[in-house]
Structures are given as structure tokens and as C-alpha cells.
Amino acid sequence: MEKKLFVLFFLLTIFVNIRGVKEEVAFILSKSFYFPFIYTRNLLLLLYNVERNSIKLNIENQKLREQLNDRGFSENNFIGSSSTACVGEILQYIPLGIPEEIVVKVKSEKIGSLIEGTVVDLNGYLVGKVEMEGGELIRIKTIYDESFKVGVESIHPYYTGILQGGEIPLVLYVPIDAEIHTGDTLYTSRLSSYAKPYIPVGTVKDYQKDIYNPIFYRAKIEPFFKPFTSRIVVIYGKSKN
């Protein structure tokens, strides 16, 4: 029995070491394991580079938007000029349906210098504002929270208002003589206390005269930010110095 096994093993060794057999075995192994591994690795690297480039493009677009819209204003009024930017990874949405709060992890020395941080997604759309800092974790109040408020404005035509968060965010205190239209794009206002002006917020979905304040319009907003579409956010804030 042992002799038969030895002979069988010897013949198998000779067979495997034949050049054609070795090449075929190598081809099968590479096709089964190596190529899928390389493909997966390259795909992950590509996605990482796309995400990193999106962050850079987001920040550059925001700078350009501020410069274009702030021509004619002094540097002292340009509140975005002294801002810092951090990148954060989304860890949790609270609640899971329409999130009023997001928990984000930030690995940066700048985290301690964020004041009233403004948070945007990779498209540059307003997500919310920093509510609380604790070590590497930051809690963000989103535009879907009813207690969220920020000054907004339309550029063409120009008018201002106050955005109030909720499942369907509203814009209040739009002057009754404003040339408001369905589809108008709203941005964070240069006059608000936010660290970054001119961040895209959303579009006017519907509007009507405010029955409680007849000298104003109230408008329903379709936010640009959609939850669960990205794992990364960018946080803007003003330096304490």
C-alpha cells in the first residue's frame, strides 16, 4: 500500500512539474485569486482618490462661490476668510429615518478650534451645524431638526429669510414684496452668524403668504442634502485666534 502511494505521489510530482501543466495551474490560480484581488484593490484605490478629489473640489468651489458673491464687500465683512476646514467620517444617523442628528468622527488638530461649525456634504450642500464636540466625536444638528435655524438668501432675485428645520424645512420672514419663485436656489446668508456664507441649501418648493405674519411669505424648501448618500462630510469653522 505504501509503495503504491509512493509511486502515485512520484508520478503526480512529475506531472505537476511539466511546464504546460505548471502554466495551466498558475493561470487557474491567478484567475481565481490574484486577478480578483488586484481588481478589488484598484477599485478601492480609485474610490478613495475620487472621494479625496471631491473634498478638494468642494472646498475650492466654496472659496470661489464666496469670492464671486462677495465682490464689493470689505474683507472685514467676509466672514469665511478666517475659516478652517476638517473632514469627518459619519458614524451614526439619529434617527435612521429622517436624521435630526449625525455623529461624526474627526481626526484633526483643528477640531478644538471649530466654533459654530458649518457642515456640508461632498457636493458642498448644507448638512447642518456643529452642536457638540467631544474628543474626536462631533454631534451635528441637521437641517431636518425642528430647532435648526439659519439665515438664507436668494441671489437672483435677491431676498432673505430664516430657514427653520424640520422634515419639510421652511423659510420664514421672506418680505411680501420679494420676487420669490418656485425653484429659486437658496444659500446660507452672508448676514447670518455662520462661518461660511453662500453654501447651497435647497430650492423653493412652494410658497404662500404667512397667515400669522401677513407682511411675509413662508416657503417650503426641498433640501439639496440627502441623508445616507455619503460617508464623509466637510466641517467649516472660524478660528478662535
Phi-psi region of 72 (alpha: psi -120 to 50; beta: other; left: phi over 0): left
Domains identified in the chain, total number: 1
pLDDT tens by residue, the chain, 241 residues? 655 555 455 445 554 455 554 555 555 555 565 556 555 666 666 656 666 666 666 666 666 665 555 544 433 333 344 457 788 889 999 988 899 999 988 876 655 556 668 899 888 899 999 887 767 788 899 999 999 999 999 988 999 999 999 999 999 999 999 999 999 999 998 877 666 788 999 999 999 999 988 999 999 999 999 998 888 888 887 544 4
In a domain, 118, yes or no: yes
In a domain, 14, yes or no: no
Q: Write the CATH number for 117.
A: 2.40.10.340
How long is the chain?
241
In sequence order, the 6+-apart residues with CB closer than 8 A to the CB of 49 are none
In a domain, 165, yes or no: no
What single-letter amino acid sits at 54? S
The alpha carbon of 17 is separated from its chain's Cα centroid by a whole number of angstroms, namely: 55
In a domain, 31, yes or no: no
In a domain, 29, yes or no: no
In a domain, 204, yes or no: no
Q: pTM value? A: 0.67
- The domain containing residue 102 runs over which residues? 73-144+228-238
Contact in structure between 139 and 126 (CB atoms under 8 Å) = no
In a domain, 130, yes or no: yes
In a domain, 56, yes or no: no
Please tell me the predicted confidence (pLDDT) of residue 97. 84
